[in-house]
Amino acid sequence: MKKIFLSVTIFLISLLLFSQNFTGVKIFVFDNDSGLKLRDPDNPDRFIGYEANLLQSFSLIGFSVDSNNLRSDYSLPQYPDILEYGAVFIVCGHRSASSNLLSSQDIITLSRYLDNGGCVYIEGNNIAEFLNANYVDFLNQYFNNFLLNNGGSQYSYIETIFTDTVSTFCRQYKFVYPSGTFPDFSIDVLGNYHGLGEPYYFPFLVYEAKGKLYRSTATAYTPPESKGILYFPGRTVMSTTDFSAYSYPLQGTKELPDSTKNILIRTSYLRDILKFFGIGRTLVIQDDGQVAKRTYELLKALDQNKIDYTYLNLKETENYPSYDYLSKFSTVILYTGEMGEPFILPQDTFSLQRYLTYGGNIIVSGENLAQSYGVPEQNYQKDEFPFLAYYLWVDYISSTYDDIYFTADKFSIYASNSYTSLIKQTESTSSNVDYVYPFPRDTFVTVNYYLGNLKESTIAGVNNIATTHRSVFFGFPFEYLDYDNLYNIINVTFTKFFKYDLKFTTLRSNENNIKNEDPKKVGKKTKILYANNKIYIENATSAKLIDCLGNTIKILKDGENDISYISKTGVFFVIYKDKMNSLRAYKFFKM
């Protein structure tokens, strides 16, 4: 996995604003709106294509035609060319369900693409009705949706779209929709075909019409690997409302115009979708004035958790990244170490605050940030450093805790993991651990403490869910933790708190997920899949499992073959004959 190591100067930051790319990932946008237009929510005096604001948000995240990692066209790539793309976004607009929204060849191509681990997002107010009438199996099996209602005149003139409050797919959004215009007319309502719940099926957007909420206009699906022939290794998202029509009615940063707020919150929403597709980078900012090796074990923990990251080492007086740069990342890790004074300045937090206001995640680790800017015995947010008080929700008490052990509060997300329920520093730090307390949240309250083991009133770590962002604060530096503790703190934070699926990786142009099929080695109408210590075989003969030395491990049959009892790990091959009696091989890695 390639990493980008950058020692940032102001000059380099300005260059990276235009050159930041996602390693090995390309995205295809299928502009399938047939030239139809909608009124731009950012400028009501003009009309735009249904793909316009989607492409704009992609560019802010780091995907653009100029960067050669995004392509937009009026037709879908043929198989196997489509496998070049980690995700395919299909924009159908307000086209009628009676029109040919997708051809039979498109359906075949998309099915094969999903069977090889690709990810598909599709939107349009009549897309579910069209698929239900023409390709119902594709709708049911690949999106886990059925058409609950085709909208008609009863559900017209939609005014507001909300995040489903019981869904964990994305943060809490509220979008104003252009009531009375073509995009909101006759919006399809989706139902759960297989009856699966999270983490496999997420109904995550609902809309308001005539004072009621109707579920659901947007869903996400990742099929359980235990479902045999129903399983495919890709992921899907379907929306029956249009991304480009969303505007943001809530108050955000006051100095920003409403049109900019619309852009930023749509981009936040797109980051959530891309994260679900396994396309989301993490930015590591080291700001302790030290050399790069100080964060070696943190970067190692990210590597071993298979988290893509970009690393920035800021020394002493260098400026922090701008918001435009930060917006490309789903998560930021800010490491300030154990220095007596942090190098982060109040003005450095300006871009971080905007990033969090518009949908970011952050982890802060260090002994100096709270110590330098917190006010002991001053327990009112308005009197504290705003970045600590309003974005990390941390109230600084003191920096006097000198024990090397901490224990997770019994209600904490960290308590259920044996390596994070009790953690220790490998040695005491010179400036002592910051002792903090969380300010109470007004809504969406989730607080997880790390407590001093011998002094349970001492809190050394806090994490909070706010309306727009999630934050984690550790009053101790990562570099002094036992490595197993550090590895698992990263794992639990990303999976339990930030809702990452670290086992899933989307297709890449130069590196495929090891669980995905290799299309060059699988014969036509033959399916070989490996997942959860099971090999699924369809339409193959003379199949056997061999190791990398050529030793036969097991003779395989059609259907599921359990190999959980095999203790060996490493590279394995399934050797078999396809329907054309040609000898084939399927390669996978067993952990």
Identify the pLDDT of residue 108: 96
Identify the pLDDT of residue 591: 65
Name the token pair of 30.
Answer: 């299928």
Name the token pair of 197.
Answer: 């719940």
Distance between CA 310 and CA 328 in Å, rounded? Answer: 11
Closest CA to 410 of 400, 421, 419, 402: 421
Q: Is the whole model's pTM more than 0.85, yes or no?
A: no
Cis ω for the linkage preceding 111 (within 30 of 0): no
Identify the pLDDT of residue 440: 66
Residue that is written with structure tokens 């011998």 in the block: 454
Do 365 and 477 contact (CB within 8 A), yes or no?
yes
Name the token pair of 67.
Answer: 């960067």
Question: Count of CB atoms within 10 A of residue 523's CB?
Answer: 18
Cis ω for the linkage preceding 257 (within 30 of 0): no
Distance between CA 164 and CA 155 in Å, rounded? Answer: 18
Closest CA to 174 of 91, 266, 270, 280: 266
CATH of domain 282-497: 3.40.50.880
Do 376 and 397 contact (CB within 8 A), yes or no?
yes
Q: Which residues pair with 546 in a beta bridge?
A: 552, 573
Identify the pLDDT of residue 528: 79
Distance between CA 19 and CA 12 in Å, rounded? Answer: 10
Distance between CA 269 and CA 171 in Å, rounded? Answer: 8
Identify the pLDDT of residue 484: 94
* Model pLDDT for residues 205-252, shown as the tens digit of each residue: 998 766 666 678 999 999 988 767 778 999 999 999 999 999 988 665
Identify the pLDDT of residue 19: 33
Q: 10 exposed, middle or buried (CB, 10 Å; 0-12, 13-18, 19+)?
A: exposed
Collapsed DSSP state (helix, strand, coil) of residue 282: strand
Distance between CA 137 and CA 132 in Å, rounded? Answer: 8
Q: 453 exposed, middle or buried (CB, 10 Å; 0-12, 13-18, 19+)?
A: middle
Instruction: Spell out a b/e string for 91-112, using b for 16 or more CB atoms within 10 Å of the CB, else e.
Output: bbbbbebeeebbeeebbebbbb
Residue that is written with structure tokens 């101790």 in the block: 476
Cis ω for the linkage preceding 80 (within 30 of 0): yes
Q: Which residues pair with 189 in a beta bridge?
A: 149
Distance between CA 283 and CA 327 in Å, rounded? Answer: 10
Angle between helices 52-61 and 258-276 (to 10 degrees): 70
Q: Identify how many contiguous H helices and E strands the chain contains and give both numbers.
A: 13, 32
Distance between CA 375 and CA 439 in Å, rounded? Answer: 13
Instruction: Give the total residue count for the chain.
Output: 591
Task: Specify whether domain 4-8+25-276 bears CATH 3.40.50.1100.
Answer: no
Measured CA angle at 389 (ends 386, 391), to 5 deg: 80
Ramachandran region, residue 222 (left: φ > 0; alpha: ψ -120 to 50; beta: rest): beta
What radius of gyration do the chain's Cα atoms show?
A: 25
**What phi and psi values does residue 129 have, to the nearest 5 degrees?**
-65, -40
Query: Which of the residues in the chain have pLDDT under 50?
Result: 1-21, 316-317, 443-445, 510-524
Measured CA angle at 322 (ends 2, 329), to 5 deg: 40
